Amino acid sequence: MTHSGSRRGAANLAPVLMILSFLSMAGLLVWLGKSAEETQQPVVMDEGETTDSVEANATSLTLDQLGMSAATYVGQTVIVEAAPVTAHMGDGTFLVGGVGGPSGPVLVVLDSALIASGEVAPDAGTVTIVGTVREKSDTDVDGWVEMNLLPEDQRPMVDPSTHWVDAHRVRPADSEAGAS
């Protein structure tokens, strides 16, 4: 009892289905290539490179732009000028903005080079921040607490933040008037 005729039609469709799958895959790849956003690699300072050259390649943002769309700038070096310090949380962490503005406060953490040089987070005033935007995780917060950059009792203040700025440079905003 052999009825091989009923399977013969499926065998004839195999090349057509294979070609359709390849075309579908090619179409998907073309669509992904056209719709993907261009990303920028984080700036890593090479030997001999100065902070000024890093700043020249950084994206200049207002505090509201960063606060409302931080995810857009993950991995990028940014400069945020005239950012009011709203909360000093520890020697290495502070919040800027968020009071009366459209975005919430932005978390700033001093990078290891600043900490090693003896810098501490500002507790008041208006600052200019140069740093890399990062996505916040519980592991980050645990590390800050462990390194005494963030006191354990201040942890609830950073919980609402989804992103943070890994600050390479923090300076008083009023110091720039004399620097020109």
Taking only the tens place, the pLDDT of each residue in 24-71 is 888 888 887 777 655 444 444 445 545 566 677 888 998 888 888 888
Q: Is the pLDDT of residue 136 over 70?
A: yes
Q: With 90 as the cut, is the pLDDT of residue 11 above it? A: no
- Over the stretch 75-105, which tens digit does the pLDDT of each residue have? 999 999 989 999 998 889 999 987 665 667 8
Alpha helix (H) residue ranges in 4-50: 5-35
Percentage of residues in the chain with pLDDT exceeding 70? 77
pTM value > 0.85: no
CATH architecture of the domain formed by 51-179: Beta Barrel (2.40)
Alpha helices (H) along the chain: 5-35, 51-56, 63-68, 112-116, 138-146, 155-158, 175-179
Q: How far apart are the first and last CA of the chain?
A: 95
| Structural tokens at position 45 | 């300072």
The rounded radius of gyration (Å) of the Cα atoms in the chain is 25
Dist CA 73 CA 171 (whole Å): 21
Q: pLDDT for 139-162, tens place per residue?
A: 999 999 998 889 999 988 888 888
User: Where are the chain's structural domains?
Assistant: 1-36, 51-179
Give the confidence band of 9 by pLDDT, cuts at 50, 70, 90: low
Pairing between strand 77-90 and 93-96? antiparallel
